Amino acid sequence: MARFFDLGARWGGVLLAGVLAGCANVGYYVQSINGQFDLVQRARPIETVLADEGLPESLKEKLRQAVRIRRFASEALSLPDNPSYTEYAELERPFAVWNVFAAPELSLTSRQWCFPIVGCVFYRGYFSEADAQDFAVEQAAQGDDVYVGGVPAYSTLGWFDDPLLNTVMHYPEEELAGLIFHELAHQVAYAKGDTTFNESFATAVELEGVKRWLAAGGSPERAVSYRQRKRRNQAVVALILRYRGVLETVYAADQSDQWKRWRKEETITAMKNEYRGLVSGWPGYRGYRSWFAQPINNAQLASVAAYFELVTAFENLLARKNGDLASFYQAVKELASMDRDSRRRALRAPAIARRWLAPGDPAQGIDVVGVRQQITGYDLFHAARSATEDGRKIAVADTVHLQ
């Protein structure tokens, strides 16, 4: 979900809708239950897996690393201390599930599917890629833009003991840590029917958790590399959201559908060209390559905001709690108990979130990137800019309420 990460590579933090709730579509309900049951049946305690003499040493080391990360999550980040991510399951496929997103041809408002326990979500998840593609074809036949994204991991909100999966064992240390922190965050607070709130909160916990994990591990080289990669990712996300804002204006214009289709194609082409220019200055960077390589449409663009739209707001909230995670979690739980509009108003206070950039970080060249976001009930403007403080180069993200 990154994380966005590479958008096509990591939709981490996604809760599989339908696993926990009934559905009018019996076939969908059955595949959800069967898929979750198969995953649970495959899970074995990590200690048992490590005792397998035939297991590759590289996998054993990654599992040992995961054990240390899991312990850190509870002891240092105050995340739930339970059996989740203390087991391992080999699924024999590249993703845990495949999520289908859909949006109208000339709108960025995602289709939603509603379930009794999890509420309404912006996607439908399938344990079979073929089933996901079939559903995408059905939605496309109704005139929608559709996007199918593979999901390496998802959370069941503590209803099951979520295991580590083979789908994430190739992750670098910091990415694996981020995934575990992100998924556990879903067990801390969950607002029914508010995907953007839930995913943005989990992403904020992920970013803060990895920062603390790397600091505790005394690995300055990995910390610099991780920070650089995340700054670059954030620059690409800002680019995507900026063009998403352009399309919102296009679709709202009092013009013909033909004109809107022409402007849609023109805007997406411009976004792709700007992405290529941006990453050309970052040798070795592969983030979002597969996402941009696909035919981009409204469903794909609409899926982006769910993971990043409110991250800055949550980072600001953590700063107001002086970095105390327990107090932060309590505040988020209180927000989750509110209705959607009330929690949005509570998160919209003007604030500044700062992320320090090390000298020589290539991402420092990014200057003045504005993203205007239309969110139900209020309007935010995010601006990423360069600034100097105490002789150090920093990136500053401003969140301003415009209404």
Residue 227: the pLDDT is: 77
Q: Is residue 384 part of a domain?
A: no
User: Can you tell me the distance from the alpha carbon of 91 to that of 73, in angstroms, rounded to the nearest whole number?
Assistant: 25
The mean pLDDT value for 334-359 works out to 68
Is the model's pLDDT at 403 over the cut of 80? no
Residue 113, strand partner residues: 121
Give me the mean pLDDT over the 67-82 stretch. Answer: 97
Stretch 149-163: mean pLDDT: 90
Q: Give the β-pairing of 87-89 and 164-165.
A: parallel
Contacts of 64 (CB under 8 A, 6+ apart): 50
In a domain? residue 14: no
Number of domains comprising the chain: 1
Q: How confident is the model at residue 387 (pLDDT cuts 50, 70, 90)?
A: very low
- Grade residue 223 by pLDDT with cuts at 50, 70 and 90: confident
**Of the ranges 4-18, 155-169, 245-259, which is most confident?**
245-259
Give the pLDDT score at 226.
83
Residue 400's pLDDT band, with cuts at 50, 70 and 90, is: very low
Contact 383, 397 (CB under 8 A): yes
User: Is residue 383 in some structural domain?
Assistant: no
Q: 380 in a domain, yes or no?
A: no
How many whole angstroms separate alpha carbon 325 and alpha carbon 169? 27
Q: Does the structure show a pLDDT above 70 at 351?
A: no
Under the banding of pLDDT at 50, 70 and 90, the label for residue 306 is low
Copy the structure tokens of residue 10: 């990591």
Whether the pLDDT of residue 13 is over 60: the answer is: no
For the chain, give the mean pLDDT.
Answer: 81
In a domain, 21, yes or no: no
193: confidence class by pLDDT, cuts 50, 70, 90: confident
- Residue 39: its pLDDT value, please? 95
Is the pLDDT score of 161 beyond 80? yes
The CB density around residue 37, as the number of other CB atoms within 10 Å, is 12
Question: DSSP label at 154?
Answer: B
Q: pLDDT digits over 28-64, tens only?
A: 888 999 999 999 999 999 999 999 989 999 999 999 9
Unique residue bearing structure tokens 């401003």: 398
| pLDDT band, very low/low/confident/very high, at 3 (cuts 50, 70, 90) | very low
Torsional sign, CA 69, 73, 76, 80:
negative
Average pLDDT over residues 308-317: 88
Quote the pLDDT of residue 117.
66
Cβ-Cβ contacts under 8 Å for 121 (sequence gap 6 or more) = 15, 17, 112, 113, 114, 115, 193, 195
Which residue blocks in 83-219 are alpha helix, DSSP H? 129-141, 173-188, 195-217
Determine contact, residues 140/146, Cβ cutoff 8 Å.
yes
Residue-level pLDDT at 183: 94
Is 16 domain-assigned?
no
**291 pLDDT band (50/70/90 cuts)?**
very high
pLDDT at 302: 81
The answer to the question of residue 284 being in a domain is yes
Banded model confidence at residue 116, pLDDT cuts 50, 70, 90: low
Rounded-to-integer distance, Cα 191 and Cα 4, Å: 21
For residue 372, what are the contacts with CB-CB under 8 A and spacing of at least 6? 245, 379, 380, 381, 382
Instruction: Please report the pLDDT score of residue 55 as a whole number.
Output: 93
SS3 category, 7:
coil
Cross-strand pairs, 382: 371, 399
When mean pLDDT is compared over 7-21, 284-298, 326-340, the highest value belongs to 326-340
Domain of residue 335 covers: 26-349
Question: Is residue 194 situated within a structural domain?
Answer: yes
Interval 202-225 mean pLDDT = 87
Per-residue pLDDT, averaged over 297-315, amounts to: 85
Return the minimum-mean-pLDDT range out of 98-107, 224-233, 330-339: 224-233
**Is pLDDT at 153 greater than 50 in this prediction?**
yes
Separation between Cα atoms, residue 348 and residue 5, nearest integer Å = 26
Q: Are strands 87-89 and 124-126 parallel, antiparallel or unpaired?
A: unpaired
